[in-house]
A and B are shown apart, each in its own frame.
Chain A
């Protein structure tokens, strides 16, 4: 299993420290929600965890292996990364966009081997995209595109999945569907890390929560332990976390 460990990671940008001495472990088979106010360093944390941004100090290891030593293509086969507000440049079909998730699995020359056709069909079906498969991705609504991108990220069956606000722009039904998909990946053994603004959704689906504020890890632990005090301190507003049989609701004063 591939735990992802960040040890004393520091990232500076233009003289400003955007991530300070962050040490977090993302456990395999668990879904971790990264929460925190705007500018807390959530996207930076995810980019470092994905191996796309090398930290100024500290180390990142996946399954004990330092990320910096893993070849980019080999890493791409094991890890999927979905940035915030993904966009598509050309009117490529939905099916083709999803297939791009298998770029690192392509042989040196020629097209995608036929055996991957099933993976693409499965990813399309899981994200309710089968009827849209021949549609140009530029003609989709924001919510539809978000689902396409999530299908793109999960089509290669990664062992590590990092997604930055994957439910932004989704209506409640598709947000819950997307959350269920992320949950299913984690249950299948994948290490899933998601930055989320929707706290109720985050607390409902996540096993663990990492709370970031001002580039520092304020709290890291089980989602069940997140309480009013933590949320209030994190966002500087009064908050009430209510857990009942229907799920978790976070209300702000």
Chain B
């Protein structure tokens, strides 16, 4: 049942490459592999080349980055809280990013400057998570989860208020569309905005690996094994705030990836929290690339939104998880 982690990582990386190649080839306009090759290596000012370089490649890069950071932070937070239902939205990161972006749309900033939406989203994510961290300061994991739930509710109320008071139906529609989460029409600008934060967040999250393993024994034993719990918590929370905040800011809310990705790979690494991190990152990237491919290939009137597809796959999985836990819990 359990593959060696390096083998699993290689297999997932291989699958991700295949999905990435499919994502460059497939869509409204099907592009031949030779044209993709030509576009990637810089020659050929054809329509296909433009589509690949300016539309599909930034979209693919964002899908990998966003899915990767969601999977990674989900794995870290589940290990930190020792709770299989933990996910990146737990700390209010997603709600904060959504509120920031919604405010930018509400006040019309987004129509003046397109990059204003993700910028406001990032600011919202950092502010709301900051408040959650302040509330949870000095407390344990339960306090943190409660503080996250509280700020998520407050941010949710703010979003509802913005929808309620939307100056015109078009603004309400734009807010709703943004909340559904999408990678459509994302450009290199958004990649340039989000990538440093996502990579920085990932760099903070990865060093928690060893502490997560020890935390399987509970906080008292982890501390007795020389683990600095305060440092681990800070790395996990700041990493998530930066990485997932930036991801949500550019794509909107993409639910369930952070919850599902760690669970998909966990049985394959013998349930070791530290060994889950890299595979969960790759699985998250793979899930988002595939979901984005589905939004482009399935035609049901208007384009399906990414967040809708991940929720359609994720919610049944969540249900299965709850039933499975009920069966296996002591």
Contacts and interface: CB of A to CB of B under 8 A. Distances in A.
Please say whether chains A and B are actual partners in one complex. yes
A12 B216 CA distance: 29
State which size class the interface on B falls in. Answer: 20 to 34
Q: Which of B215, B216, B221 has the most CB of A within 10 A?
A: B221
Contacts of B270: 92-93, 96
A88 B216 contact: yes
B59 to A, nearest CB: 35
Interface string B190-218: 00000000000000000000100111111
A50 B224 contact: yes
Interface in B211-231: 213-218, 220-221, 223-228
Contacts of A81: 220-221, 224
Contacts of B330: 138
Interface stretch (A23-31, A70-78, A170-178): A70-78
Interface in A56-90: 72-77, 79-83, 86-90
B271 A103 contact: no
A52 B228 contact: no
A158 to B, nearest CB: 10
A152 interface: yes
Contact of B213 (A72, A91, A103, A104): A103
A91 B225 contact: no
Contacts of B226: 72-77, 103-104
Contacts of A88: 216-217
A68 B213 CA distance: 25
Nearest to A75: B226
Interface in A202-220: none
Contacts of B296: none
Nearest to A104: B226
B224 A86 contact: no
A25 B217 CA distance: 29
A80 B217 CA distance: 13
B216 A106 contact: no
Interface of A: 47, 50, 52, 72-77, 79-83, 86-93, 96-97, 100-101, 103-104, 106, 136, 138, 152
25 contacts: A72-B223, A72-B227, A73-B226, A77-B226, A79-B224, A82-B221, A83-B221, A88-B217, A89-B82, A89-B218, A90-B271, A90-B272, A91-B271, A92-B271, A96-B272, A97-B217, A100-B213, A100-B214, A100-B217, A101-B225, A103-B225, A103-B227, A136-B271, A152-B217, A152-B221
